[in-house]
Amino acid sequence: MIALSLLVASLAGLSSAAASTHRLKERVAEPRNWIRLSAAPADQIIPLRIALPQLRFDELERQLYEVSDPDHPRYGQHLSKAEVETLVAPHPDSLGVVNAWLASHGLEEDDLERTPAQDWVTVRVPVALAEEMLATKYHAWQHADGGDVILRTTSYSLPAHVHDHVELVHPTTFFGHTRALRTTFRFSEVQDPPVPVSSEKILIPGSGITVDPSCNTTITVTCLKELYNAIGFQASAHNGNQIAVTGYLEQFANIQDLQTFYSQQRPDALNSSFKTVLINGGLNNQSAAEAGAEANLDTQFAFGLTFPTPATFFSTGGRPPFIPDIGTPTKSDTNEPYTKFLDFILAQNNIPQVISTSYGDDEQTVPIAFARRVCAGFAQLGARGTSLTFSSGDGGVGDGDPNPATQTCLTNDGRNATRFITGFPATCPFVTAVGATINVPEIAVDFSGGGFSDFFARPAYQHAAVTRFLDGLAPGTFAGLFNASGRAIPDVSAEGDKFGIIIGGQSFHIGGTSASSPTFAGFVSLLNSARLSAGKRPLGFLNPLLYSANVAATFNDITVGNNPGCGTEGFNATVGWDAITGLGTPDFGKLLSIVG
């Protein structure tokens, strides 16, 4: 690549000339809650990820639905890694144009990193070169909460002849604030003195299922197995089944805490563990002081439910570490972490059949082109036979703030209009969004995220269920606050509060849809274990199956509760699908009788 000192000097007078040959690719309003700091240092190294159009993605999507539809002859016949890569590979013309454009800036093949399908190319360049390539100006921006500092721009352009051959460039206009989706955690020994409870089992109406009354105080692995009708089922350790959870933002899953958890809740799993895979500079800090609440919750319950199924924790780096007053060129990897995870997992030949994620952004903070491209990555995993569960969010119909009274719920497009705010990636139609319930018998918990996407249209698989819900709303309900034709979330739900976990050797209670996603994922993995042991294929992309009439009827319908936010009472739980608990919570025994 061009020598850095010569490059910066040669680019000093080129920005205006470059702009004249470029055409605007994307522009966003200055984001709320972000503060523009100084101009980015010219010699700061920035990794540019360039997405080339995926030539046959429509064909991939068609085949994804065929192999995921229980009524289709191809159901369960998932695609191979090579087949998926063929369908998402860019056109040779796009490769040629982009290669020539990069070469015109001194970037040769040795400077490029490509995904196996060649649909993404990454180059690490000084800010000065990125600005010249994109006819833009980068600044450091800091979130108003005093947290992340990132390098971003509010618009960028591409040469006219390159425009149709590049879908997006990142990092540019993405001002997301990825967070773990949890509401509260508290030190149980201090805040939860022993409360006498009845010794009589709680009978779940209409089911014959009984649950220990202690489950209204602390949710355990046994509580979930009782409530969701899985007592007595034993997963296999040897049939090829795997489960995984993802970790971001320096969330470390502590193995000693897992052992303590197992000693209390799953004694037969004691001395077993999980595999940790490090991605993009991810770490595996096992200090008790660094044990992550989110990471421990995910691993303890997902893996506690599914033992002895082989389990993996993916620790992905990517929290932006740029510090303007240091300006070290080697510390500016500002990429949002999902893309790094997708790069890694899609390149693997053997991937887990279930992966749970408890992180997300407000959908409106994610550029729509970027959201669609990440969603397309999840579609590739589904086509290969992996079920993806995501937490639906912890702000009710609001903007992620767990306190409805302080939610602003304003659009960030410059209009500052009041709007219900959904979360991404939960709104991607190729993942299963999981909301939250509480108590035994279950009701909807008020923080459970639910609503309708402004980016993705409602998929056919949920049309009937969601239409019935919308038809049941009084005319004019929340008019203008949501997109009634958008992809609706959540799809399903599971318990999401009072989970007893271990963090740093101490007992805590934790709650949030971040508990619900690994819980639901755990029961999906148990279903996969039964299927694989019977010589069947894994379930893969779940939603067409879940919304099918005979499967939807097996769910425990939640009809009490609402998810307030944005100055409203939010949506109500109702008979059938609703925008707080989805189809309801799983009955493993009934599901097993259909898909096992």
**Largest Cα–Cα distance of the chain, in whole Å?**
80
pLDDT in tens, 458-503: 999 999 999 999 999 999 999 999 999 999 999 999 999 999 999 9
CA distance 209 to 483: 38
Cβ–Cβ under 8 Å, residues 214 and 197? yes
Mean pLDDT by 10 residues, the chain (596 residues): 42 46 92 89 93 98 98 98 98 97 96 96 96 96 80 95 96 75 45 56 92 96 98 98 92 96 98 96 90 94 98 81 36 60 96 95 89 97 98 89 72 88 96 98 96 98 98 96 98 97 95 96 98 98 98 98 95 98 98 96
pLDDT of residue 588: 98
CB neighbour burial string for 399-438, b if at least 16 within 10 angstroms, e if fewer: bbbbebeebebbebeeeeebbbbbbbbbbbbbbbbbbbbb
CB neighbour burial string for 178-199, b if at least 16 within 10 angstroms, e if fewer: bbbbbbebeebeeebeeeeeee
Cα 505-338-422 angle, rounded to 5 deg:
90
pLDDT of residue 149: 81
Cα distances (Å, whole numbers) of residue 541 to 12, 91, 464, 501: 50, 27, 19, 29
Closest CA to 359 of 343, 341, 377, 344: 341
Give 267's DSSP letter.
G
Name the active-site residue from 157, 387, 448, 514.
Answer: 514
Q: Give me the count of residues in the chain.
A: 596
Cα distances (Å, whole numbers) of residue 332 to 148, 224, 402: 12, 43, 31
Structure tokens at 139: 């600044």
CA distance 494 to 442: 9
Closest CA to 547 of 487, 496, 473: 487
Helices (H), 307-350: 337-346
pLDDT of residue 17: 44
Q: Are strands 243-247 and 354-357 parallel, antiparallel or unpaired?
A: parallel
Q: What is the pTM of this model?
A: 0.92
Q: SS3 of 166, please? A: coil
Please name the amino acid found at residue 30: E
Give 16's DSSP letter.
H
CA distance 422 to 455: 10
- Fold of the CATH domain 180-320+336-595: Rossmann fold (3.40.50)
CB neighbour burial string for 57-71, b if at least 16 within 10 angstroms, e if fewer: beebbebbbebbbee
396: phi then psi, degrees, rounded to nearest 5: 60, -130
Q: Are strands 243-247 and 311-316 parallel, antiparallel or unpaired?
A: parallel
pLDDT in tens, 47-70: 999 999 999 999 999 999 999 999
Name the active-site residue from 26, 132, 148, 294.
Answer: 294
Q: What is the 3-state secondary structure (H, E, C) of 522-574?
A: HHHHHHHHHHHHCCCCCCCCCHHHHCCHHHHCCCECCCCCECCECCECCCECC
Cβ–Cβ under 8 Å, residues 334 and 148? no
pLDDT in tens, 411-439: 888 888 999 999 999 999 999 999 999 99
Cβ–Cβ under 8 Å, residues 386 and 524? no
Closest CA to 409 of 514, 564, 561, 184: 564
298 is catalytic: yes
Name the active-site residue from 132, 298, 333, 578.
Answer: 298
Enumerate residues 6+ apart whose C-beta is below 8 A from 256. 286, 288, 505
In the sheet where 184-187 sits, what is the strand order? 184-187, 506-511, 499-503
pLDDT of residue 65: 98
Closest CA to 480 of 395, 566, 563: 566
Mean pLDDT of the chain: 90
Cα distances (Å, whole numbers) of residue 233 to 30, 212, 525: 53, 18, 12
**Span(s) in the chain for CATH 3.40.50.200:** 180-320+336-595
pLDDT of residue 294: 92
